[in-house]
Amino acid sequence: MSKEIFNGPRDEGLDFGVAVASPPAAETLIRVLLLDDHFENLLLRSTILRKYGYVSETASTIQEALELLDQIDIAVLDYHLGAGQFGTEVAAELRRRRPEVPIIILSATLERRFGGVEDMHLLKGYSSIDDLVNALRSFEAKLRGKPVVVNARDFFYSRINMAMGDDVLLEVLDGEGNWQYVNDTCARLLERPAEWFQGRNMFQEFPDISPDWQEILQTVVTTRETYIDRTYRGLLNLPRKDEEWVWNVLAFPMTLHNNQPGVVLSARILERKS
């Protein structure tokens, strides 16, 4: 039951909150295999990809997908198809028959350690439309023999922000206090655009921050130990604590996108218990 969803004219009124970029007319359109056992997921992804200039070949079963392997340029496969079937079965056959075709696996959980033939994994339900389109754009550029540019930094740190939640003030720094990333919540509090922080030094830009924090950051990087502070000693421009709540500040070590040691610095409001 191989099929292509929505071959008709574009519905310009359909808005998914992302900018639409049309491919160059002179280039052959990229054909993307979409495998998912839920029709509504196929419908949504096919519509999105059509708006970005991709041609979708859809399948809801492994057999349907196998029949399409010779017609596609990139594969986007759901991991769990139900009834004990998995998209990785299609990935293995595609890699055997056409090793040059990039494969993206969409999974609802990362509990299973993937170690197969896939090129990329995206967390279904959390990975945004931008993540999928950026992945397709990167693979498309590679297929066309063009330089591939992927903003790994933002993708890497945005996953941390997503896991911690939008109610947390989040900064990622190296041991000297140079910002690698701040989330939008922190940027709004410090009254700067988020992109302003990257590469700047926290202690130079905000000299009123307690000097103790420079030593704390360096200690976390060196010892790889987590630091928790509830003493409210001048970190950031946090609103004043009161009778009902107090800020909880946490600094823990991580390896940065460039494999250098760094620190995740977060702050969250804790309610006081009466």
How far is 236 from 250, CA to CA, in rounded Å? Answer: 13
Among 155, 152, 158, 167, which residue's Cα sits nearest to residue 266? Answer: 167
- pLDDT value for 65: 96
How far is 182 from 197, CA to CA, in rounded Å? Answer: 7
Supply the pTM of this predicted model: 0.51
Record the tokens describing residue 219, joined without a space.
Answer: 């200690």
Instruction: Report residues of the chain scoring pLDDT below 50.
Output: 1-26, 111-114, 150
Cβ atoms of 147 and 164 within 8 Å: the answer is: no
Q: CA dist 247 to 16, 244, 272, Å? A: 36, 11, 10
- pLDDT value for 244: 57
Q: Apex CA 28: angle with CA 107 and CA 61, to 5°? A: 35
- pLDDT value for 69: 96
Record the tokens describing residue 5, joined without a space.
Answer: 């969803």
Among 192, 202, 177, which residue's Cα sits nearest to residue 262? Answer: 177
How far is 261 from 233, CA to CA, in rounded Å? Answer: 24
- pLDDT value for 12: 35
- pLDDT value for 212: 81
Per-residue burial over 129-143, b = 16 or more CB atoms within 10 Å of its CB, e = otherwise: bebbbbbbbbbbeee
- pLDDT value for 138: 82
Spatial neighbors of 144 by CB under 8 A, at least 6 apart, are 27
Record the tokens describing residue 195, joined without a space.
Answer: 């992109």
- pLDDT value for 167: 80
pLDDT tens-digit series, residues 171-228: 999 989 999 999 888 888 888 898 899 889 998 998 878 778 888 889 999 998 888 8
- pLDDT value for 23: 45
Ordered strands of the 120-123 beta sheet: 55-59, 31-35, 74-78, 103-107, 120-123
**Which spans in the chain are helix H?**
39-51, 62-66, 87-97, 129-143, 152-164, 184-189, 202-205, 212-223
How far is 210 from 202, CA to CA, in rounded Å? Answer: 11
